[in-house]
Each structure stands twice: as structure tokens, then as C-alpha cells.
Amino acid sequence: MGYGIKLKVWGDYALFSRPEMRVERVSYDVMTPSVARGILEAVHWKPAISWRIDRIHVLNPIVFDNIRRNEVESKASKRKTEIYATEERQQRASLVLKDVAYIIEAHFEMTDKQGEEDTPEKHYNIFLRRARQGQCFHRPYFGTREFPVQFELIEDDGDIANSVHSGTVDLGYMLLDQTYQLNDKGEVVEVTPYFFRAEMINGIVEVPSRREAMR
């Protein structure tokens, strides 16, 4: 295992979209590992390191709320570089989480893209410095840019708040990660999802490695 970190994250709303719900968005009960990794990468990421999520602490009660959001019908691409929101706007219902707070426990591993100056100590200290100062390359968000993330570094285990959850809760199958196969033009031709059977035990979700997950 590489250098470990703990980061507390919280926000007013979150939408961790379930992939089987394609029209009306429905959130998972808790934050997914892929969203957690995206938050860490927003604070610090380089090709030389790869973040691995170890566990997610669920601090607040799981409360859902129905809202309506404006979306556009299509996505920007190389062929379609302009989208006119007034022409493609759609209003859709979303089942989102309200008043969320988590602690992300994670570590990073060095990749085969590391250079001579890339050391674990260097990237670990960069992350600590940026997290302490609240710096990020872009504002992380809980599933959608409408729901920004606030964060702070946890440096003492005594600072970890107790969860309101107790016992074991089966959260069902949850998206762990996705890999992308590209063609010669750099276009995505195949997406392989990885799922795992998520359980929350006393407010903690243990996250398996991709090798331990099911395709």
C-alpha cells in the first residue's frame, strides 16, 4: 500500500447516478468510489500516480430529495462542438441525496509513467499542502457540477467524527470503476464497468480493488 490520506468532504446535495437509470436520474445511497477518486484527483493528480480508494465513511443520515433539473438532450463531441441550450433544454426529475458528509480513506500508487523526479514523498507532500490550503485544480463536485464539494484534510484520527449509522446495511451492487478502450482516432469504442456488492458496516463502506470486483 502507498501513502495514505484521509479527506473529509461535504455538501448540500449529491447525485451519484445509478447507470441503470438513464432518463430520470436516481442516486446511489452513498458516494461511489469513482466519485471519491475524482475528488482526490481534483486536489492533486499527475500521470505518475494512481489513486486507490480504501474505504468511505458515511457520516450523515441518508436522506433523499426529489428535485427537477434543466439538462440538454445531447453531449458535446468532436463532431458537435456547439450546443444551444434554448433549443435542447429538457427538464428532468432527479432523486438526489441531501446534506451529505463523508470521509475518504485512500492511498496512491506510482505508475509506469513516473519520471526520475517523481517520488512517493514528493506527491504525498504536494497533496497534503494543497489539501491543507483548500487548493484544487478545479472545484470537485458530488456527481454533477451543480453540487460542489467542500473539503478538509484529516490529519488526526481523533478528528474523525462518529457515524450516525450502526449495524450492517446491504447497499446492493455499486459501480466501482470503468475502463475505456480507444480506437486509433482516440475515440471510445468500448466501456467496461466493474461492480462490487457494497455493504455499509457501522457507517463504513470497504472498497475492493478492481481485481476483486466483478465485471
Neighbours of 193 (CB within 10 A): 14
Name the more confident of 3 and 138: 138
Nearest to 56 by CA among 98, 122, 4, 7: 7
For residue 1, what pLDDT is reported? 46
Judged against a pLDDT cut of 70, whether residue 81 lies above it is answered with: no
Q: Across the chain, what does the average pLDDT equal?
A: 87
Give yes or no for a contact between 191 and 175, defined as CB atoms under 8 angstroms apart: no
Distance CA 84, CA 184 (A): 30
Q: Domain coordinates of the chain in residue numbers?
A: 4-209
Residue whose cell numbers read 453531449 = 75
Cell numbers describing residue 78: 468532436
pTM comes to: 0.84
Residue 172 falls in which region: left (phi positive, over 0), alpha (psi -120 to 50) or beta:
left
Neighbours of 75 (CB within 10 A): 7
Which CATH class name applies to 4-209? alpha beta
Judged against a pLDDT cut of 60, whether residue 79 lies above it is answered with: no
For residue 90, what pLDDT is reported? 67
Nearest to 30 by CA among 208, 206, 171, 191: 171
Name the more confident of 94 and 80: 94
pLDDT tens readout for residues 56-68: 999 999 999 999 7
